[in-house]
Amino acid sequence: MKSPAELTELFRQQGLKITPQRVAIFQALHGSEVHPSAEAVYESVAVGMPSISLRTVYQTLNDLASMGELVALDLGTGAARFDPNTDPHHHVVCDRCGKVRDIYADFTDVRLPRSTKGELHGFRVSSTEIVFRGLCHSCQHPGPDE
């Protein structure tokens, strides 16, 4: 993901207002390897900026996604997640805690099955997203209090 300064400039180029709230969101996302929900970004930013609204967070995340700076994900964890990593990759999701991690793997052999007529069911495939589900290390080996 671009730096907060680069995102600020990108927003200016798009004619979007630069606010302290947006800059704080850019800073919260920069260098992050997690796939936060809008609510998680809101909670993180609200610690230092209690006046921020959840609506501002959603709008900023959706603006970033429409610019191709974030990827909006629906991983079946209950809330849309936002991925700051726009490189081609896949995901592993913990069924218990919802933790999401990136997986880099080449699945060039994965193909959409053809119908009996030899067609791809009317689809032209442009990309493949694979989500592995299971339990993360922490959920497999909970501590004594859990």
pLDDT value at residue 108: 72
The amino acid present at 114, given as its one-letter code, is: R
* Domains of the chain with CATH codes: 4-73 (1.10.10.10), 87-146 (3.30.1490.190)
**Contact, 112 vs 96, CB < 8 A?**
no
Residue 119: what pLDDT? 62
CA distances to 4, 5, 51, 94 from 16, rounded to whole Å, are: 15, 14, 20, 36
Give 114-135 as a 3 state SS string.
CCCCCCCCCCCCCCCCCEEEEC
Residue in this structure with the two tokens 């610690």, named with its chain if needed: 47
Query: What is the model's pTM?
Result: 0.80
Phi and psi dihedrals of 116, rounded to 5? -65, -20
Residues 6 or more apart whose Cβ sits within 8 Å of residue 127: 88
At residue 121, φ and ψ (nearest 5 deg) are 55, 30
**Do 8 and 24 contact (CB within 8 A), yes or no?**
no
DSSP calls for 36-78: -BHHHHHHHHHTT-TT--HHHHHHHHHHHHHTTSSEEE--SSS
pLDDT tens digit at each of 146 positions of the chain: 899 999 999 999 999 999 999 999 999 999 888 899 999 999 999 999 999 999 999 999 999 999 999 999 988 777 889 999 888 899 999 999 888 999 998 877 777 776 666 566 677 777 778 899 999 999 998 877 65
Instruction: Identify the three-state secondary structure at position 94.
Output: strand
